[in-house]
Amino acid sequence: MSIPGIPGLGQDEPELDNAQPQVGQTKTVDLRKEQEWRFEGAVGRGVEVKVTTGTAELFGTELVTNKSYTFIGTKAAIYTWTGCTLEISHDAGALASEYVAEEHTMNESVNVHLALEGCRDRSTTATGTGVGPRVLILGPDNVGKSTLAKTLTGYAVRAGRAPVVVNLDPGEGVLSLPGTVSAAVFKTILEAERDEGGGWGASPMSGPNGEVPVKVPLVYYFGGTDPSEKKGTLYKALVGRLALSVQGRMKGQEEVERSGVLVDTPGSLLSAKQASMGYELVGHIASEFAIDKIVCLGSERVYNDMLRKFDRQPVSGGVAGETISVVKLAKSGGVVDRDQTYMRAVWEAQIKSYFYGNPRVGANISLQPRQQQVDFDALPTIWRRISAGSNSYNSSGNATEEEEFMPGDADYEPSATVSEVPLPENQLFEKLTSPTPALRNCVLAVMNCVPEPDEPQETLRDSSCMGFLYVTEVDEGRGKISLLSPVAGRVPTRALVWGEGMEAVLNVVG
């Protein structure tokens, strides 16, 4: 995955021009009960909000009265059940839009939460299974799936539960970087303050989280954004591994088992173009996580399809008589579309805060990543993850067999890095034999395995991810690359994976 030229990455100090919002304008907003203040911050710009009277919450997480919260480039809503006054400060142009809304979907969210609480309580009765609800949240892009997952998590934590939150949307890292799927137990409050990077808190791999205790996620590296790529081979494998690891982590922790699992999914899973593949993947997720509740958001088509396919069907791996129920929820009028420019800002924010911490929001932590130049040959093997239709990166610059058969007068210049030879459809990784400039500004995932040269690719595919490195420079001539790592010390002797799948998306906006 590459994000060309993230400012601050690869330099000694992160760029912190807007370290504190330059507060210029302050105003108060009075909310009557059951109203919400919706706002969209301009990318990179800060807005400060304080609840001065009454009570308010941000997607299920309660805001402390008279505490100032900073939101950077955030699109969200502050809701009140009782009525409240908000004091809002920002510099000119930092707030792209704001308004007070009366129509919202908080009642539906609370009803779902109460129904889940009922299931959690019943799971501990004499006839209960001891395992709480396993909820799958489905719907097209930008309908509020992640927001519902956050709200249900926030309410569950406030009710003293400890649910497992599973993020199967590689386009949005949860407690991790984009390009990954992950899961973590949420026992403590979610961070209310946030930047473009989202609202689940910073990746704990980047350092301590301050006031909010560290949540240690299970992370698997996908390295792209399209789950259906290569007929879903890699995605399905990662879903299976993650489900297995989640089961392992829940086992014996009664409180966590009772609280159940909330699974957030990407909208692309159900886009019309690849609907049959998407439905196959939904079936796979449902069976791996023993899903017993499917919540469909913002699409009648998805709801009806799910109803036909799953409603009252036996839960895969569930106890006898356990069946799946499918419900639908309306999309909130507040949900906003996020274009690619915004998603790029989201990814940049997540990657930057992994290496440098985030001195602007949340735990206010600044980190000092280590920059080092290393010989390419001294590094553990770098494996390039092959996306659909990729060509080989391991050309010597000489014509390949196929190229030699090109007509003599063809206007052809052999590429030094990318051969025109497409790689086999079932090949998932390719070993990189020399440093290529395309590695510059890329993230490398450090895998929890050391695959031998002749080991099957599945070892690499099925490994969890330990952390990440960032390539700041490539010196092809001297065979060296410069790396940024979150901790001092040598590069771990583990396989490194270079996921290219997000490049195409990023270059569109780059």
Ligand X SMILES: Nc1ncnc2c1ncn2[C@@H]1O[C@H](COP(=O)(O)OP(=O)(O)OP(=O)(O)O)[C@@H](O)[C@H]1O
In the annotated binding site, the residues are: 36, 75, 142-147
**Residue 38 touches ligand X, criterion: CB under 6 A:** yes
Q: How far is CA 183 from the centre of its chain?
A: 10
CB 326, min distance to ligand X, A = 18
Give the one residue of 154, 178, 334, 362 binding ligand X; rule: CB under 6 A.
334
**Residue 75 touches ligand X, criterion: CB under 6 A:** yes
Stretch that binds ligand X, among 6-14, 50-58, 301-309, 334-342 (CB under 6 A): 334-342
Summarize the annotated binding site for ATP as residue ranges: 36, 75, 142-147
CB 505, min distance to ligand X, A = 13
Nearest C-alpha neighbor of 152 from the set 2, 47, 259 = 259
Give the one residue of 267, 362, 451, 499 binding ligand X; rule: CB under 6 A.
267
CB 202, min distance to ligand X, A = 17
Pair 9, 348: CB distance under 8 Å: no
- Count, residues near ligand X per rule CB under 6 A: 21
Place of tokens 């706002």: 39
β-strands 75-80, 35-41 pairing: antiparallel
Instruction: State how far the Cα of 45 lies from the Cα of 54, in Å rounded to an integer.
Output: 27
Instruction: State how far the Cα of 423 lies from the Cα of 337, in Å rounded to an integer.
Output: 36
Within a 13 Å sphere around the CA of 78, how many CA atoms are in the beta-carbon half? 32
Residue placing its CB nearer to ligand X in the complex, 271 or 417? 271
Give the one residue of 55, 142, 287, 482 binding ligand X; rule: CB under 6 A.
142
The dihedral of CA 181, 224, 77, 87: what is its sign?
positive
Main-chain phi, psi angles of 220, to 5 degrees: -125, 140
For 330-367, list the strands marked E by DSSP. 357-358, 365-366
Main-chain phi, psi angles of 111, to 5 degrees: -65, -40
CB 46, min distance to ligand X, A = 16
**Residue 151 touches ligand X, criterion: CB under 6 A:** no
**Residue 49 touches ligand X, criterion: CB under 6 A:** no
Give the one residue of 62, 87, 91, 141 binding ligand X; rule: CB under 6 A.
141
CB 264, min distance to ligand X, A = 7
Structure tokens at 9: 């990455």
β-strands 293-297, 134-138 pairing: parallel
**Residue 34 touches ligand X, criterion: CB under 6 A:** no
Give the one residue of 29, 115, 336, 399 binding ligand X; rule: CB under 6 A.
336
What is the gyration radius of the CA atoms in the chain, in angstroms?
A: 24
Residue placing its CB nearer to ligand X in the complex, 147 or 381? 147
List 65's β-bridge partners, or say none.
51
Within a 13 Å sphere around the CA of 335, how many CA atoms are in the beta-carbon half? 17
Which DSSP letter does residue 314 get? Answer: B
Quick note: the x/- pattern for ligand X over 76-95, rule CB under 6 A, is: xx------------------
**Residue 192 touches ligand X, criterion: CB under 6 A:** no
**Residue 169 touches ligand X, criterion: CB under 6 A:** yes
Stretch that binds ligand X, among 322-330, 331-339, 366-374, 469-477 (CB under 6 A): 331-339
**Residues in 439-458 that interact with ligand X by CB under 6 A:** none
**Residue 194 touches ligand X, criterion: CB under 6 A:** no
Residue placing its CB nearer to ligand X in the complex, 207 or 298? 298
Give the one residue of 46, 60, 132, 144 binding ligand X; rule: CB under 6 A.
144
Instruction: State how far the Cα of 176 lies from the Cα of 416, in Å rounded to an integer.
Output: 34
Residues 85-101 as b/e (b if ≥16 CB within 10 A, e otherwise) read bbbbbbbeebbeeeeee
**Residue 167 touches ligand X, criterion: CB under 6 A:** no
CB 429, min distance to ligand X, A = 27
What is the CB neighbour count within 10 angstroms for residue 271? 15
- End-to-end distance of the chain based on CA atoms, in angstroms? 13
Instruction: State how far the Cα of 466 lies from the Cα of 492, in Å rounded to an integer.
Output: 10
Residue placing its CB nearer to ligand X in the complex, 37 or 354? 37
Instruction: State how far the Cα of 61 lies from the Cα of 154, in Å rounded to an integer.
Output: 5
Give the one residue of 164, 185, 212, 335 binding ligand X; rule: CB under 6 A.
335
Pair 33, 87: CB distance under 8 Å: no
CB 169, min distance to ligand X, A = 5
CB 270, min distance to ligand X, A = 10
Within a 13 Å sphere around the CA of 124, how many CA atoms are in the beta-carbon half? 11
Within a 13 Å sphere around the CA of 483, how many CA atoms are in the beta-carbon half? 23
Q: Which residue is nearest to ligand X (CB)?
A: 334
Stretch that binds ligand X, among 141-149, 299-307, 310-318, 377-385 (CB under 6 A): 141-149
212: left (phi over 0), alpha (psi -120 to 50) or beta: beta
239 residue type, one letter: V
Query: For the chain, what is the largest distance between any 2 Cα atoms, rounded to a whole number of angstroms?
Result: 81
Give the one residue of 89, 147, 182, 350 binding ligand X; rule: CB under 6 A.
147
Residue placing its CB nearer to ligand X in the complex, 38 or 384? 38
**Residue 172 touches ligand X, criterion: CB under 6 A:** yes
**Residue 259 touches ligand X, criterion: CB under 6 A:** no
**Residue 197 touches ligand X, criterion: CB under 6 A:** no
Give the one residue of 173, 217, 266, 467 binding ligand X; rule: CB under 6 A.
266
CB 381, min distance to ligand X, A = 33
CB 195, min distance to ligand X, A = 12
CB 174, min distance to ligand X, A = 11
Interface residue list for ligand X (CB under 6 A)? 38, 75-77, 139, 141-147, 169, 172, 266-267, 332, 334-336, 338
